[in-house]
Amino acid sequence: MTGGSASRRRLGRSVGGRAVLIALASTVVFFGAIGWVVVHSPGWPVVQRSFFDAERFWDALPDSIARFRLNVQLFLIAEVLSLVFGLVLAVLRSLPGPVFFPIRALAVVYVDFFRALPGILVIFILAFGIPGLRLQGVTNDRFFWGIVALTLLYSAYVSEVYRAGIESVHPSQEAAARSLGLSRVQALRFVIVPQAVRRVIPPLLNDFIGLQKDTVLVSFVGVVEVFRTASIKSSAYFNFTPYLATALIFIVVTIPLARFTDWLVARDRRNQLRGGVR
């Protein structure tokens, strides 16, 4: 490397260093100001006692973590199921020709329907309504119906993401596949869907951050997961600090997933610029 580029790098670093200092200072001032306003507000002592009680926090944390296991299960099972079901919906919706109109229409209605409904209503209807029918051989398990509800809801979102991916694959790819004698289904399976899925992994992960958080909705039908645990403890001691423990657990789990998504997006962009696809 020449001296010119080395000195340019050095210059870049010192400019970068100053930028970091400025960013640090402005952050300290900004959050310092907010903190000062909060701490000097008239109601602060009461809020501090009911939200930031160290003893209550350490009391709630182990139980909350233990109960978070249920949220993880809800999340993982619903995620895998909605990945599969969402893809099926997206493929059904992209079937061409007049013969498949009823199937396409059904897929459209499904997606519109479940995207329109607030998640909590779907959970209520399934977890209370279906056991209420007292059908033979149908489980009353709220956890089970919670998973079903989350899967139905998120399949609708996920199928839209897949569909965008499928539509983003250039028609010339299908033309090339069909010209080789592949059927429409083979073209989808081997050529279009693999490219589509690769492109939509970042937005899919985005949806799953949402799903992760929405697992707390299942607490409202009586599944004692992390949020329910916090609310039980909170009512027992008339103190909101257990919710803080729950919030912290979600933050610790979700932020790495969000950063991972950003990293994937950045990597995809780099690969595209470099012309690589793998």
Partner 1 sequence: MTGAGAALRIEGVHKSFAKLEVLRGVDLEVAEHEVVCLIGASGSGKSTLLRCINLLEPIEAGRIVVEGLEITAPDADIDAIRRRIGIVFQAFNLFPHMSVLDNITLAPIRVLKRPRAQAEADATALLARFGLADKRDDYPDRLSGGQQQRVAIIRALAMEPDLLLLDEVTSALDPELVAEVLEIIRELAGQGMTMVIATHEMSFAREIADRVCFLDDGVILEQGPPERIFGAPEQPRTRQFLARIVAAGRL
Cβ neighbour number for residue 188 with a 10 Å cutoff: 20
Question: Positive or negative, the Cα torsion across 255, 260, 263, 265?
Answer: negative
Smaller CB separation from partner 1, 104 or 198: 198
Which tokens go with 178?
């069909």
Smaller CB separation from partner 1, 161 or 187: 187
What do you get for the CA distance between the two ends of the chain, in Å? 31
Smaller CB separation from partner 1, 134 or 274: 274
In the complex, minimum distance from the CB of residue 278 to partner 1, in angstroms, rounded to a whole number: 6
Which residues of this chain interact with partner 1, rule CB under 8 A? 172-173, 175-183, 186, 190-191, 194-195, 198, 275-278
Angle of helix 226-237 versus helix 54-93 axis, rounded to 10: 150
In the block, residue with structure tokens 């006692």: 49
Q: What is the Cα–Cα distance from 172 to 90, expressed in whole angstroms?
A: 20
Smaller CB separation from partner 1, 198 or 213: 198
Radius of gyration of the chain (CA): 25
In the complex, minimum distance from the CB of residue 173 to partner 1, in angstroms, rounded to a whole number: 6
In the complex, minimum distance from the CB of residue 79 to partner 1, in angstroms, rounded to a whole number: 23
In the complex, minimum distance from the CB of residue 128 to partner 1, in angstroms, rounded to a whole number: 45
In the complex, minimum distance from the CB of residue 82 to partner 1, in angstroms, rounded to a whole number: 24
In the complex, minimum distance from the CB of residue 270 to partner 1, in angstroms, rounded to a whole number: 13
Spatial contact of 54 and 199, defined as CB atoms under 8 Å apart: no
Q: Which residues of 152-169 are buried (b: 16+ CB within 10 A; e: fewer)?
A: bbbbbbbbbbbbebbeeb
Smaller CB separation from partner 1, 47 or 176: 176
In the block, residue with structure tokens 């994937």: 264
Smaller CB separation from partner 1, 200 or 230: 200
